[in-house]
A = this chain, B = another copy of it.
Amino acid sequence: MPANLDTVFSALADPTRRAILSMLLEDDMAVTDVAEPFQMSLTAISKHLGILTEAGLITREKRGRVIWCKLEPDAMRSASVWMQGFGQFEPVDLDAFERFLECELAEGDAEAETQE
């Protein structure tokens, strides 16, 4: 699980997986709860979680019959450092990030609702 750049970047390349990571930013979550907002099968989400785990971006811990997913932001460090080598990107503007995040989440919701 050294999480190389290949696996991290390709894990991040999928909007569903990025949405999951954003959700986990708030709190740890059970697999079923992670899946709830998405318009796709539990199996599909389970696969996404597998890919995120493989990339080291989350860990999963079984307690009882529930598996808890925990964000592991450290796995992004090498990728982040790599990118920053290409330019000094302005010191984290958290407001901008919030807006960005909401935008991505909103897109996700919209996508989910077109099917209902």
Interface residues of A (CB under 8 A from B): 5-6, 9-10, 12-15, 18, 21, 25, 71, 73-74, 76-94, 96-97, 100-101, 104
Contact = CB atoms under 8 A, between A and B. Distances in A.
Contact of A80 (B14, B78, B83): B83
Contact of A86 (B5, B21, B78, B85): B21
A18 B9 CA distance: 11
A89 to B, nearest CB: 4
A107 B6 CA distance: 13
Nearest to A71: B86
Contacts of A5: 12, 15, 18, 104
Contacts of A12: 5, 9, 79, 83
